[in-house]
Structure 1
Amino acid sequence: MTAALPLFPLSTVLFPGLVLPLHVFEDRYRELIRDIIALPADSDREFGVVAIRSGWEVEHTGPGGEPAVGLTSGASISLYDVGCSALLRQVTEHPDGQFDVVTVGRRRFRIVEVDATTAPYLIAQVEWLDEEPGEPGMADALAPGVLAVFQRYLRMLRGESTPTGEQLPEDPNVLSHLIAATASLTTDDRQQLLALPDTVSRLRAERTLLNREVALLDQLQAVPASLPELATPSAPN
C-alpha cells in the first residue's frame, strides 16, 4: 500500500532522528508549508525530503546558514528514489512570507510515482521502509567496533589525541543513522547508506567507509608539509 507525500527536493540526505532546519523562500514550497500547517493538529505534519541526483537547485542559505529550499523555475531535476520524511517541529513565518522551519527525520520511504501536476510542488506516492535490524544479534555485535572507528575518525578530524567523553547513542540503528548523517561523506555515499535494507548492512558499509576515511586522514597527517602549504600552487622554476 502506498501513501501520498509532498516532496522537498534538496541537495542533502536526511536520516531518521536527525534535525534539519530549513529556510523556505520559493513560492511553491511556501505553499507546501502552509498546506502542512493547515492540517489538523493531531495529523502527521510531515513531508518527504529526497536528494537531487542531478539538476539545478537555487543556491541560497537562510539567515543562520541553514539550507534554503527552492528550485529554479522550470528546472528539470532527477531525484533519488529513497528519501526520509521530515516531521515539522517549529515554524516561523516572516513578514515577506518566507519561512524558517525546524524538522526532524522520521521514516524512510521509496518513491513509487511522482505527480507533478496536482499541486505547485511535487507529490509522490511512496511506500514506507521498515527499520529492520538484519541478522539476529549481529547489529549489537557490530556496533561497538563501528563506534570505536567513528570515535577515532572524529578525533582525527578535530585534531584531538584523546577521547572527549562525547555521548554517542548505544542503539545500533540510531548510531547507524547518526554516523551516516555526520561523517564527511559524499551525497552518493549517504544515499547508499539511507537505501540499505537494515541496520547490519548499514553498519558494515559504514565500517568500510570510516576505515577508508581514517586511512586517508592518516596519509594526510603523514605529509611533512602543512595542508595550507599543499593547497598553494608552487612558483614556476
Structure 2
Amino acid sequence: MPGEMMSLIEPIVAAPDAARAARVFSSAAKALGVSYFQARHYRRPPGQLTAARHWAAGGLVERRCVAGWIGGTSHRYICFEVNPLVEPIARGMTRYRFSDFAPRKDRRFSDYWDAMSEGRIGDALGVTAFGYDGAVASLHIGFADPAIEDAIAEALYVAGTVLTERLLRAPLAVGEHGAAPLSVRERDAIGFVADGKTDWEIATIMGVAETTARFHVDNARRKLGAVNRAHAVARLMTLGL
C-alpha cells in the first residue's frame, strides 16, 4: 500500500493550489473504489454545533457524487434529521469511519444507511484538520461497498491528512463587510447569546468566570459594530462569521 499512498500524496503536494489538490485527490481516490468525495474548508460556526449550523458553515471546495442526490430527500435526511457526524467534529476527531457513529447493525440507523445508499455510500471515511481561530478542513470519502479494506483506508487517511493541512493554508474570508475577525471564544459566546443563554449559563458552558464570559460577549459586540447583543447576533449571522 505504500505505492498507493504515495500516488495519492504526490499530486496533492504538486498541485498549484488547494482547490486543485482536492480535485486531483478525488480523481486518484476514484481508482481505489471511492464513490463519493467531498472537501470543505470553513470556519466552525459559533455556539453549540448542530447539523444545521454545520451545513450552513459552507466552505465547499470539491464534491463528486451521484447526480441529483445533493439537496434531495435522502440527502436532506442524513444532513438535518439524522446526522451522527456532528459528534466526531464536536469532539475534535481527525479520522473516523461513519459507521463508528452510525453502526450498520443498529436498527436506529437503518433509515440513515438506506438514505446513504441512494448516494452510493455504504460506508465512508472522515478526515478532519483543525486550524487557527476555528478554521476546519474536512473530507468525506465514501465507498459503495461498506467493507473498506484497512490498507486502503489507511492510505486515504494519511493522504487525506496531507490534503486537509493544505486546505487549511488557504485563506478564509472574514466577512464581506470587513469586520474584525472574532476569536473562537468570542464567536462561541455570541452563538450562545443567540441560543438565549445568560452570562452565567455561557460561563458554565465555557468553563470560565461570568465576568470573562461577559468580556467575550462585549468584545464580540464591539468588533461587530453592534449597539447591543441582539444587534451583534444579527450582525454575526449577516456577515457569516
TM-score with structure 2 length normalisation? 0.28
Greater share of strand: 1
Greater share of helix: 2
TM-score with structure 1 length normalisation? 0.29
